[in-house]
Chains A and B, each alone.
Chain A
Amino acid sequence: MNAQPHELREISGPSAFGDSWRRTWDLLWLISVTEFRLQYSETTLGYVWSVLKPFAFFGVIYLVVSQVLKFADVADFPQKLILGLVLYQYFSEATNKALRSIQTRESMLRKTHFPRIVIPLSLNLGAAITLFFNLVGVLLLLMVTGVEPQTTWLLAPVAVLALVVMTTTLSMLLAVAFVRSEDVGQGWTLTLRALFYATPILYTLTVIPESIRPLIAANPLTPIIEMMRIWIIDPNAATPVDLLGVVSGLLVPLAIAVMIAVAGVIWFKRDAPRIAEAL
């Protein structure tokens, strides 16, 4: 090792984002791909499970909603149901895993130096990879059931990106909050269950009584899932903005999503340096 002597440089200590984007990205990609591969590595069916799960869930819910409860008087209901389910499944899996991610990687955090953000982000990226495969599966299924590919499909990535950004920033918030108090874990389980019904998955915004529509629409997941359904399945359906106006239909959920994102980034950045000793 004959390289010339290095200059002394002050080390900055542990940080949320690291001081080299390159290294942060390398670690992030490597760990995400590993997580994704590991997820079903011990199973015979492998990746098939990640596609099979939402579809099986869809089958059950579809039977209950359309055959038992008989309130599926929405056009293209099965297609809208499965699309909503796949999107929500990503949201709930990613946040649930990220929530405990820092705790479960305690030994890694305590023993080595790397950008702390890699932990919640890698889980989210892994879940996003699963989402990508699931969406491909859903699109194939939709085409089989007669949904024609159309130009509005090109808009879908916007909604998916919004979902991924919101899920990721929320995950960061939850991950550091969980280190502070494990009550957050119990609270989030409950919240996820409530959100499942407060998000247009088993229904669409159009069938909701007008009095509670603004409440459901304030949920940032609502415009994302509604717009995905419109752009992919039924471009002529009424959008949240058509139903509620720009403020309730778009600006309120957008503001909430932005607040979550800002809080997630700020809080994570603030807590990350001391996270190893807080565990």
Chain B
Amino acid sequence: MKRDLAIEVRGLSKRFHVRGRRAPASLRSRLRNPLGRTPGRSLEVFHDLSFDVERGEFFGIVGRNGSGKSTLLKLLASVYPADSGTIRVAGRLAPFLELGVGFNPKLTARDNVVLNGVMMGLSPAEARRRFDSVIEFAGLRDYVDLPIKNYSSGMKVRLGFAVMTHVDADVLLIDEVLAVGDAEFQERCGEAFEDMHREGRTILLVTHNMPTVTQYCERALLLHDGEIHTIGAPDLVAEHYYDVNLSEMLGRPDHKLPEMSSKIVAAIGDPFARIDDGWIADEHGERIDRIRAGAELNLHATVKVERDYPDPTFRFQIASSDGRVVFTSDLASLSETGSAGAGEVIELKATVENRLPPGRYTIVSDIFTGEGTPAGPTRMTRLEVEGERRGSSMLLDHKISASTRSAPVAPVAPEGGR
């Protein structure tokens, strides 16, 4: 069944006209040409872009710097006009290209929340009504009447984020907000996104952080040089994002790549082997993408060898939602033959003691040549660990006890309060 659309983009084109501006020049050249301006330039950001986002979807937009993703977001947010093409949106859209847009440092949290809420589309009355709930969410109750110039940057971010979760939009455009704040804040952001997603809102998230894409998004779009490079499963998009990054490095003519990097790029372009499949299994061998905290964790992958190469090695890593690698396995090598032959299929399996705190993770599978350079693209698989205690601390086996000493200490005579 096809779901309703939340966003429909058709034939979108955008070109920037950079007006010629007079650069500070020498006095002599100014005298010769007093009104001289450099000629204007025109830059095409993208041309004839079309895609859909379904209602209630968690949709990622990724791309290198300069790929056009910020411009796309600004067109969706009605900050820039399109040159041609249409954007159709179902319901109210709230853009969060930055947290706390229009925050005025001299105003109190109360005034700023109302102002920011109205900027984001609430009516003033509605913004005032939600103020308490916003402040509660931000945990800033004690600082309500403090001008926010006296807030720490973390407090400001929390306040901005709290407003974001309270504006009741049908579609939210979010740009890199996860990049700010500490691990705990990121975890809370993640939960807030989940909640909004569960409520049926459509979320468009622009990010550089591939684990975020694989862990949260249902679908993603990779924008490259103003074109849709890939649109589809987040794992696939994340892989292509890494590919694009690497080939971009090679493509730069003036850039002398160290030998190592050129080998990496070569391996991506023409791999020795490919990871065909990667999955997680429970103790019965069933494929799963969520697991109880502490339950046995089996990582699997199958590798198809394209060309002969010596001494293949394999590795799994686990990355947490903030992109941190929390586990790296030893390198495994083929015990019998010691080399990979074209056409062979290699099975990888790792059983990992599961000490992961509940949360979202990405399993990264890598394959290497005997020289230690990648033999082919990385593969990513998402995993959710379910359980009560979310947070960033490992679940280690432990015993803890508390007891009263059996020999009573001599009673202390009451001295009265100090």
Partners in one complex: yes
A: residues with CB less than 8 A from B are 1-2, 5-14, 23, 26-27, 29-31, 34, 38, 41-42, 107-114, 273-274, 276-278
Cβ of B45 to closest chain A Cβ, rounded Å: 10
Q: Flag if B5 contacts A30 (CB, 8 Å).
A: no
Bound together, the chains give a CA A7 to CA B19 distance in angstroms of 38
Give, as a whole number of angstroms, the nearest-CB distance from A127 to chain B.
18
Alpha-carbon distance A2/B114, docked complex (angstroms): 25
Q: Is the interface of B mostly helix, strand, loop or mixed?
A: loop
Contact status A10-B86, CB under 8 Å: yes
Q: Indicate whether B396 reaches chain A with its CB closer than 8 angstroms.
A: no
Assess whether A9 is in contact with B106, with CB atoms less than 8 Å apart: no
Contact A38 B106 (CB under 8 A): yes
25 examples of A-B residue contacts, CB within 8 angstroms: A1-B200, A2-B200, A6-B91, A6-B92, A8-B5, A8-B8, A8-B90, A9-B89, A10-B87, A12-B78, A14-B80, A26-B123, A42-B106, A107-B98, A108-B119, A110-B79, A110-B97, A111-B79, A111-B95, A112-B77, A112-B79, A112-B97, A112-B119, A113-B79, A274-B80
Contact A13 B80 (CB under 8 A): yes
Contact status B170-A6, CB under 8 Å: yes
* Inter-chain contacts of B98 with A (CB < 8 A): 107, 111
Kindly identify, within residues 220 to 271 of chain B, every residue whose CB is under 8 Å from any CB belonging to chain A.
Answer: none
Q: Does B120 contact A (CB under 8 A)?
A: yes
Q: Number of contacting residues on B, CB 8 A?
A: 45
Taking CB atoms, residues of chain B closer than 8 Å to A2 are 200
CA distance A120 to B387 in the complex (A): 53
B106: A residues at CB distance < 8 A: 38, 41-42
B96-113 contacts to A, CB under 8 A, are 97-98, 101-102, 104, 106-107, 111
Q: How far is the CA of A228 from the CA of B157 in the complex (A)?
A: 50
Residues of B within 8 A of A (CB): 4-5, 8, 16, 19, 55, 74-82, 86-93, 95, 97-98, 101-102, 104, 106-107, 111, 114-115, 118-121, 123-124, 168, 170, 199-201
Q: Is the CB of A8 within 8 A of B89?
A: yes
Q: List, in ascending order, chain B residues with CB within 8 A of A10's CB.
A: 86-88
Check if A112 sits within 8 Å of B102, measured CB to CB: yes
Query: Do the beta carbons of A112 and B120 come within 8 Å of each other?
Result: yes
Given contacts A9-B89, A9-B90, contact A38 B107 (CB under 8 A): yes
How many Å lie between the Cα of A23 and that of B102 in the bound state?
A: 16
Q: In the complex, A273→B75 CA distance in Å?
A: 11
Asked whether B120 lies within 8 Å of A31 as measured between CB atoms, the reply is no
Question: Within the complex, what minimum Cβ distance (angstroms) separates A85 from chain B?
Answer: 28
Q: Enumerate chain B residues within 8 angstroms of A273, measured Cβ to Cβ.
A: 81
Closest Cβ of chain B: how far from A37's Cβ, in Å? Answer: 8
Which A residues lie within 8 Å of B82 (CB)? 13
The chain A residue with its CB closest to the CB of B127 is A30
B90 touches A5 (CB 8 A): yes
Bound together, the chains give a CA A209 to CA B382 distance in angstroms of: 86
For the complex of A and B, the 8 pairs showing the least CB-CB separation, nearest first, are A6-B91, A13-B81, A113-B78, A8-B88, A6-B90, A111-B97, A273-B81, A111-B101
**Alpha-carbon distance A276/B201, docked complex (angstroms):** 28
Q: Is B5 within 8 A of A276, CB to CB?
A: no
What is the minimal beta-carbon distance from B94 to any residue of chain A, in angstroms? Answer: 9
Contact at A276–B87, with CB atoms within 8 Å? no
Which partner residue on chain A sits nearest B119 by CB separation? A112
Residues B104 and A34 in contact, CB atoms below 8 Å apart: yes
Which residues of chain B come closer than 8 Å to A29, judged between CB atoms?
124
**Which B residue's beta carbon lies closest to that of A31?**
B115
| A23, B118: Cα distance in complex, Å | 9
**CB-nearest residue of chain A to B3:** A5
B119 CB, min distance to chain A CBs, angstroms? 6
